[in-house]
């Protein structure tokens, strides 16, 4: 496994590094300048080696907490927005100052869920990032907490970093946190829990090992990191979870040392368009299908027809992303729907030839065509 990791790392050209609030800030909420300097030093060195580097950073809210003298992390969206608005400028100023010492140019990109959910905005963000990388600029990405509200928040930068890695087709995603990797049990309550150095496949057993929320200043826990890993490996990107406070952690990972937990990328990753469908955070509705439809989708790789549709949930229009679930509510697929929720409510359970008679038109035979469907 170590040798396989080293072989893979020899081909790595583009790296996304995500650093969490727990690494960037002290328990007081103020920026941990020593950790920031160490992070920038390592990233600048990677850039000088000829690798393309993207930083996904938390810390804006934490920096705002310190500046405003707050005693606890904000609990409401307006409080978080205010802290982020104050803290984002502080955070970027520090990054600019530190990277400039190594002769590096940085660019700030703030994203919300909507920037990834809408295909055109997704492509615009992708083009902007590729252009910055071509110009040898280091993009610094954060969620736009100052304007985000509950419906458009990613909720954690683990998910954001995985979506960014998928968007730019990165070779490696590194999640730096306050924990050394994925353990078989919570090491805070079970000190003898074993650290997993290698995960070849994300099974239900692996997901069950993930715990809840992290520190008081952070929003993500191991569960969000496992979800990020699912996105990354399905996109053909290797992922590592490691302790961000470990000296030289990024260099050690790129040197192939057995640091943290390595998630092996899939041998046959999803195509770019299907990655967007599968992992788009903008799911607008839910389609419940019968057992025959489940078999047709999963085993037969067929399109979804109206005859297999049992129920329609949510409000959505033609062309939006919906999730497909079985009778028990288990998600089996996602896809771009060919009819609105109102139209599907009318034609659910019907044969294809009956659609035009009922609706007065039939633009498509399928509810979701197999080319626009990703089986999960």
- Residue 177 assigned ligand-binding role: yes
CATH 3.30.70.20 for the 283-375 domain, yes or no: no
Determine whether domain 2-274 maps to CATH 3.40.1160.10: yes
In 10 A of CB 256, how many CB atoms? Answer: 17
CB atoms within 10 A of CB 1: 11
- For 47-86, list the strands marked E by DSSP: 52-57
Is 348 assigned to a binding site? Answer: no
Looking at the predicted structure, is the pLDDT value of residue 30 above 90? no
**DSSP string computed for 180-245:** SS-BSS-TTT-TTPPBP-EESS--HHHHHT--SB--SS---BHHHHHHHHHHHHHTT-EEEEEETT
Token pair, residue 285, equals: 């509705």
> Which candidate, 283, 52, 72, places its Cα nearest to that of 168?
52
The reply to whether 178 sits in an annotated binding site is: yes
Nearest to 169 by CA among 49, 276, 244: 276
Structure confidence at residue 212 as a pLDDT band (50, 70, 90): very low
- What pLDDT shows up at residue 148? 63
Cα–Cα nearest to 319, from 375, 270, 368, 374: 368
Residue with tokens 């300097």: 37
User: pLDDT, tens digit, for every residue of 289-343?
Assistant: 999 999 999 999 999 999 999 999 999 999 899 999 999 999 999 999 999 999 9
The two structure tokens encoding residue 64 = 């705002």
3-state secondary structure 116-159: HHCHHHHHHHHHHHHHHHHCCCEEEEEECCCCCCHHHCCCCHHH
Predicted local confidence at residue 186, as pLDDT: 77
Give the pLDDT of residue 135.
97
Question: At residue 117, does pLDDT exceed 80?
Answer: no
β-strand pairing of 172-177 with 285-289: unpaired
| Tokens encoding 364 | 């498509």
Average confidence score pLDDT of the chain: 88
According to the model, what pLDDT value does residue 182 have? Answer: 92
The b-or-e profile of 281-308 (16+ CB within 10 A means b, else e) is bbbbbbbbbeeebbebbeeeebbbbbbb
105 has pLDDT over 60: yes
Lowest-pLDDT range, 1-10, 209-218, 359-368? 209-218
Q: What is the DSSP string of 89-117?
A: HHHHHHHHHHHHTTT--EEEEEE-HHHHH
> 104 with 51: CB under 8 angstroms?
no
Cβ(333)–Cβ(370) below 8 Å: no
pLDDT score for 317: 92
As annotated, the residues of the chain forming the CATH 2.30.130.10 domain(s) are 283-375
Place 213 in a pLDDT band, splitting at 50, 70 and 90: very low
Crossing angle for the helix pair 77-100 and 33-48, to the nearest 10 degrees: 50
Q: Are 89 and 145 in contact (CB under 8 A)?
A: no
Determine the pLDDT at residue 48: 95
Q: State the burial class of residue 25 (Cβ atoms within 10 Å of its Cβ: 0-12, 13-18, 19+).
A: buried
Per-residue CA distances from 139 to 13, 43, 133, 319, 343 (Å): 15, 11, 8, 31, 43
- What average pLDDT score do residues 115-131 get? 87
Region(s) of the chain under CATH 3.40.1160.10:
2-274
3-class DSSP state of 68: helix
3-state SS, residue 270: coil
Through-space distance between the first and last CA atoms of the chain, rounded to whole angstroms? 27
Two tokens at 8? Answer: 């893979």
Is the per-residue pLDDT at 177 higher than 80?
Answer: yes
Q: What is the pLDDT of residue 62?
A: 79
pLDDT, residue 218, reads 38
Instruction: For strands 373-375 and 331-336, give the pairing.
Output: antiparallel
User: For position 279, what pLDDT does the model report?
Assistant: 81
DSSP 255: T
Q: Flag whether 230 is marked binding.
A: no
**Annotated binding residue 57:** no
Q: List the single range of 120-124, 150-154, 155-159 with lowest mean pLDDT.
A: 150-154
Q: What is the dihedral of CA 266, 267, 271, 277, to 10 degrees?
A: -20
Q: How confident is the model at residue 150 (pLDDT cuts 50, 70, 90)?
A: low
Q: Is the model's pLDDT at 153 over the cut of 70?
A: no
Is 58 annotated in a binding site? The answer is: yes
The predicted pLDDT at position 211 comes to 59
Q: Tell whether 223 is in a known binding site.
A: yes
Higher pLDDT residue, 138 or 113? Answer: 138
Q: What is the mean pLDDT of residues 56-76?
A: 83
Q: pLDDT tens digits, residue range 217-267?
A: 333 478 889 989 999 999 999 999 999 999 999 999 999 999 999 999 998
pLDDT band at 216 (very low <50, low <70, confident <90, very high): very low
- Name, of 22-36, 40-54, 150-164, 199-213, the range with top average pLDDT: 40-54
């Amino acid at each position: 496994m170590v040798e396989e990791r080293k072989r893979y790392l020899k081909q790595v050209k583009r790296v996304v590094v995500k650093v969490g609030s727990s690494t960037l800030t002290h328990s007081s909420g103020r920026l941990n300048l020593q950790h920031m300097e160490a992070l920038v030093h390592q990233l600048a060195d990677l850039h000088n080696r000829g690798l393309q580097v993207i930083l996904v950073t938390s810390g804006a809210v934490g920096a705002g907490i310190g500046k405003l003298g707050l005693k606890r992390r904000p609990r409401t969206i307006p409080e978080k927005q205010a802290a982020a608005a104050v803290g984002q400028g502080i955070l970027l100023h520090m990054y600019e100052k530190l990277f400039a010492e190594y002769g590096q140019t940085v660019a700030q990109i703030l994203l919300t869920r909507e920037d990834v959910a809408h295909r055109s905005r997704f492509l615009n963000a992708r083009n902007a990032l590729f252009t910055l990388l071509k110009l040898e600029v280091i993009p610094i990405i954060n969620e736009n907490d100052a304007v985000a509200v509950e419906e458009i928040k990613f909720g954690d930068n683990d998910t954001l970093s995985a979506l960014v890695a998928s968007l730019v087709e990165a070779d490696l995603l590194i999640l730096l946190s306050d924990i050394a990797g994925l353990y078989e049990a919570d090491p805070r309550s079970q000190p003898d829990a074993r650290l997993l150095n290698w995960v070849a496949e994300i099974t239900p057993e692996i997901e069950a090992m993930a715990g809840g929320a992290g520190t008081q200043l952070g929003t993500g826990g191991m569960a969000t990191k496992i979800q990020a890993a699912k996105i990354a490996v399905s996109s053909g990107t290797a992922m590592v979870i490691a302790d961000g406070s470990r000296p030289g952690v990024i260099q050690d990972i790129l040197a192939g040392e057995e640091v943290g937990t390595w998630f092996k990328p899939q041998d046959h990753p999803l195509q770019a368009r299907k990655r967007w469908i599968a992992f788009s955070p903008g799911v607008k509705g839910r389609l419940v299908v019968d057992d025959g439809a489940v078999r047709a989708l999963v085993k037969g790789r067929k399109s979804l027809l109206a005859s297999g549709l049992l129920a329609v949930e949510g409000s959505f229009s033609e062309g939006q992303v919906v999730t497909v679930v079985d009778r028990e509510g288990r998600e089996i697929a996602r896809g771009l729907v060919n009819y609105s929720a109102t139209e599907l409510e009318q034609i659910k359970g019907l044969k294809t030839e009956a659609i035009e008679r009922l609706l007065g038109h039939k633009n498509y035979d399928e509810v979701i065509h197999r080319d626009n469907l990703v089986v999960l």
